[in-house]
Amino acid sequence: MTKTEYQHPLMQAYWVQLDTRFAQVEEVFEDVMAEALAVLSREDIHHFLDAARVIGKLGRGVEPMLAFLEEWPSVVKALGEEAVLTDVMAFVMRMQKSPNGKAITPFLQTLAPVARKQHSREQMRHYIEIADDLMARTTGSIHGHHTTFPSPGLPEFFQQAPFLFSQLSMGGVRNWVDYGVRNYRTHPERQTDYFSLQSADARAVLQRERHGTLFADVERKLDLYLRGLWRDPDQLVPYSTAFDELRKPVPYYDRLGMRVPDVFDDFILPLPLAGEGVKISGLDRYRAVLAHMVGHRRWSRPMVADNYSPFQRMAVEFFEDCRVENLLIREYPGLRRIFVALHPKPVEGACDPETTSCLRHRLAMLSRALIDPEHPYGDPQLLDFVRRFHDLLAKGESSSREIADLALHYVARTRLQSDQFAKVWFDDTVIDYRDDNRHLWQYIEDSDDEEFFDDPDKKLKKESEVQSLPPRHYPEWDYHSQTYRPDWVSLYEHLHPKGNPADIDRLLQKHDALAKRLKRILDLLKPQDKVRIRYQEEGSELDLDVAIRSLIDFKGGANPDPRINMSHKTSGRNLAVSLLLDLSESLNEKVAGSEQTILELSQEAVSLLAWAIERLGDPFAIGGFYSNTRHDVRFVHIKGYGEPFNDEVKSRMAAMQAGWSTRMGAALRHAAHYLEARPADKKLLLVLTDGQPADVDSPDERLLIEDARRAVKELDQQGIFTYCINLDPKADEYVSDIFGHRYSVIDNIQRLPERLPELFMALTK
């Protein structure tokens, strides 16, 4: 052991207490202790050193100890005197005993950043609980007894923790972790991808859990806002603020649309500034951003940038921003409250012009004074320019030119030597609802601070035309967590291949007798446009014949019939039907006691039904589906709503084939997507299936059943009536879970061709 001689006897005592011989620790020990002594009480110092010693003796090298020594004082600073040392140590020991020892250092390194975000011991404990839970559930075990494989996700999670906590609330992190564990517990590589935020759904779930006002939630409101209040609708394009920590993007607009951040937290003005806390909702912040841009679009004209120095340009931008805001406020006075609340309030004299470039600070103060009549500033020059600015605006709208001249005067009058300094004052000078003003400048010469995105070569590299439709993504319901898995299922749609239409005609001929019987029922169902209802006491018109008969009865002394009016009723039929066929492998089985497969019988039944509905004249579509894992759900179109039941359709029907599995939820949602667009009053979705929803990548039987049930509920909300015709004799176990009472189980499958049209007619009578 190297005997280190510390000047101070206390320091010597601490070093002894730490009891370590790591040279790297020795190098930093004095600095670390200086920091620790500043925030820790004497007693806590002992606990701190004890803990550090324990960590140093874990046998995992110097890293964990260094991490702890360096992080802990900051943790205490963030959380106050009594931090959560015992909880942290308990968790470290649990990790040490599990195969996850490697994650100890990453964990210790996250302590300070997380503590700074959370500010409470309670929250810190929650964080440890989440990590603990993640570790327990993802650490691999053999035979359920010994934990032998380290959790693949845990170190990645610690890597991402500071970022996660900057974006999500504690509950959000918990949900995010929970989602990852539930879906990728048995898949180490995917789990790593998820917890390192590499996979698409890790980002999707993160996006869903973020706090604040999400752009996606308020997009329509913002669109209405632009349209209604400003008559200046444009494409709104969100940019991500989550993954661009360093280069904070700023709102801007160009000919492709207005770019706004994808999320805004509520803005709460801290107490001492405004007297009492002013809250500007995320939605209002979006509105401020948009209003400001609209102002520029309305009143700003581009200027040639080449003649101005960067400082001059900055000043012009500040003046012009304030001009459009004043004009906006003139339009809607209530905007002042929002702008003033969001505008930083730089403290006069905070920036020292001797050592720092104060240009930004001066301009921000000026900008504040220009939009806030109750500004506290007393600088005579500032007041002079505020007055000149308002004089200009008092005459009308002024113009970008005029205001630029004023700005140049300002720069000339207030220029300081120190403006050139490299050290620039930034505090309280960033006005985050203003756009970057790129529209204000046009460059005659190519400047080197512009990036050119319209690379002419790029156009040539355009991707070749896609041949098929891109997949549609549908969410899937996860009943464990009662949440949707976003964009979980990829569904591909195409036209069904063709066969020989004569086959279908032959099938129809075979059921000729049945068709005749159906025809009689159909004629009854056909709508008669207008029906007269006679013998009404109250009606729209006097039924003269009946009235006179009643009068005769009355005169003759008999009791007259008072029902002497009649009225009319229209009985129209406004119905759109979609038939969804399950085309999974099980359809290829032969029906007991018959030579035909279920598929062939379904073919007959569907042909008859199509024939019947065609006669009724209801718009009608047929689609089939099968699936092979969530990445490949197929939806085939057999008949479209606009198509008549012709040879084209019949040929597709003749070629019907079965294979793969039954992922019903996505197919239901997709069929509903088309049915919803139909203008009919009543919408009916018939599902013909022979078994329960199932797929090879879903070991949990309930999952797809619950998803289908959820899909039916969604359809209900869209006003679509779903009805299931099930050919599975054992269907009772699950079908009512999915469809409620809206199903029929057909036990004798051979009678399907007869039953299907009958069922349909009974449903729509």
Partner 1 sequence: MTDKTQYKVHKEPYYQPQGNEVALYEAAYRNRLPVMVKGPTGCGKSRFIEYMAWKLDKPLITVACNEDMTASDLVGRYLLEANGTRWLDGPLTTAARIGAICYLDEIVEARQDTTVVIHPLTDHRRTLPLDKKGELIEAHPDFQLVISYNPGYQSLMKDLKQSTKQRFTGFDFDYPDAQLETTILAKETGLDAATAGKLVKIGQTARNLKGHGLDEGISTRLLVYAATLIKDGVNPVEACQMALVRPITDDADIRETLDHAIDVTFV
CB nearer to partner 1: pick between 332 and 426: 332
Site string for partner 1, 564-593 (x = CB under 8 A): x-----------------------------
Among 8, 119, 227, 494, binds partner 1 (CB under 8 A): 227
CB nearer to partner 1: pick between 449 and 537: 537
545 binds partner 1 (CB under 8 A): no
CB 138 within 8 A of CB 191: yes
Please report how close the Cβ of residue 642 comes to partner 1 at its closest, in angstroms.
17
CB nearer to partner 1: pick between 149 and 535: 535
662: exposed, middle or buried (C-beta count within 10 Å: 0-12, 13-18, 19+)? buried
Please report how close the Cβ of residue 295 comes to partner 1 at its closest, in angstroms.
14
Which has the closest alpha carbon to 366: 422, 301, 314, 300? 314
As a whole number of angstroms, the distance between CA 597 and CA 591 comes to 6
Say how many residues touch partner 1, by CB under 8 A: 26
CB nearer to partner 1: pick between 90 and 531: 531
Which residue has tokens 């039954």? 662
Pair of tokens at residue 557: 């002394």
CB nearer to partner 1: pick between 593 and 679: 679
HSE-CB at 105 with a 13 A cutoff on CA atoms is: 12
Among 200, 544, 552, 558, binds partner 1 (CB under 8 A): 544
**CA 580-581-586 angle, 5° bins:** 150
Q: Segment contacting partner 1 (CB under 8 A): 75-83, 178-186, 215-223, 365-373?
A: 215-223
As a whole number of angstroms, the distance between CA 189 and CA 556 comes to 97
Among 307, 355, 442, 540, binds partner 1 (CB under 8 A): 540
Please report how close the Cβ of residue 555 comes to partner 1 at its closest, in angstroms.
9
CB 81 within 8 A of CB 41: yes
Q: Segment contacting partner 1 (CB under 8 A): 228-236, 253-261, 593-601, 607-615?
A: 228-236
Q: Segment contacting partner 1 (CB under 8 A): 312-320, 333-341, 395-403, 423-431?
A: 333-341
CB nearer to partner 1: pick between 218 and 587: 218
458 CB-near residues (< 8 Å, 6+ apart): none
541 binds partner 1 (CB under 8 A): yes
**CA 742-735-485 angle, 5° bins:** 105
420 CB-near residues (< 8 Å, 6+ apart): 357
**CA 444-446-448 angle, 5° bins:** 135
Among 126, 336, 573, 755, binds partner 1 (CB under 8 A): 336
Among 305, 335, 440, 638, binds partner 1 (CB under 8 A): 335
In the sheet where 252-254 sits, what is the strand order?
236-239, 257-261, 252-254
Site string for partner 1, 338-357 (x = CB under 8 A): x-------------------
Please report how close the Cβ of residue 549 comes to partner 1 at its closest, in angstroms.
12
Please report how close the Cβ of residue 559 comes to partner 1 at its closest, in angstroms.
15
Instruction: Using DSSP, state whether 579 is helix, strand or coil.
Output: strand
CB 507 within 8 A of CB 529: no
CB nearer to partner 1: pick between 224 and 430: 224
Please report how close the Cβ of residue 672 comes to partner 1 at its closest, in angstroms.
22
Q: Segment contacting partner 1 (CB under 8 A): 187-195, 221-229, 599-607, 746-754?
A: 221-229
Question: For residue 521, how far is the Cα from the chain centroid?
Answer: 49
CB nearer to partner 1: pick between 221 and 301: 221
Please report how close the Cβ of residue 532 comes to partner 1 at its closest, in angstroms.
12
CB nearer to partner 1: pick between 216 and 430: 216
CB nearer to partner 1: pick between 137 and 682: 682
Among 195, 225, 299, 318, binds partner 1 (CB under 8 A): 225
CB 303 within 8 A of CB 401: yes
As a whole number of angstroms, the distance between CA 726 and CA 747 comes to 9
Among 59, 144, 272, 333, binds partner 1 (CB under 8 A): 333
CB nearer to partner 1: pick between 162 and 233: 233
Among 514, 547, 655, 680, binds partner 1 (CB under 8 A): 547
CB nearer to partner 1: pick between 63 and 372: 372
Instruction: Using DSSP, state whether 621 is helix, strand or coil.
Output: strand
Query: Could you write out the three-class secondary structure of 623-689?
Result: EEEEECCCCCEEEEEEECCCCCCCHHHHHHHHCCCCCCEECHHHHHHHHHHHHHCCCCCEEEEEEEE
551 binds partner 1 (CB under 8 A): yes
Longest dimension (CA), the chain: 135
As a whole number of angstroms, the distance between CA 95 and CA 688 comes to 53
Residues in 124-153 at the binding interface with partner 1, rule: CB under 8 A: none
Which has the closest alpha carbon to 529: 588, 586, 471, 570? 570
Please report how close the Cβ of residue 87 comes to partner 1 at its closest, in angstroms.
44
Please list the residues that pair with 264 across neighbouring strands: 213
As a whole number of angstroms, the distance between CA 325 and CA 434 comes to 10
As a whole number of angstroms, the distance between CA 645 and CA 639 comes to 8
Residues in 689-748 at the binding interface with partner 1, rule: CB under 8 A: none
Please report how close the Cβ of residue 225 comes to partner 1 at its closest, in angstroms.
5
Query: Could you write out the three-class secondary structure of 490-541?
Result: EEEEEECCCCCHHHHHHHHHHCHHHHHHHHHHHHHHCCCCEEEEEEECCCCE
CB nearer to partner 1: pick between 306 and 541: 541
CB nearer to partner 1: pick between 468 and 559: 559
CB nearer to partner 1: pick between 374 and 448: 374
> Integer distance in angstroms from the first to the last C-alpha of the chain?
95
Residues in 479-538 at the binding interface with partner 1, rule: CB under 8 A: none
Q: At 302, phi and psi to the nearest 5?
A: -65, 150
CB nearer to partner 1: pick between 284 and 320: 284
Among 10, 34, 38, 224, binds partner 1 (CB under 8 A): 224
Site string for partner 1, 266-295 (x = CB under 8 A): -----------------xx--x--------
Please report how close the Cβ of residue 565 comes to partner 1 at its closest, in angstroms.
11
Among 21, 221, 401, 532, binds partner 1 (CB under 8 A): 221
User: Where on the chain is the footprint of partner 1 (CB under 8 A)?
Assistant: 220-221, 223-225, 227-229, 231, 283-284, 287, 332-338, 540-542, 544, 547, 551, 564
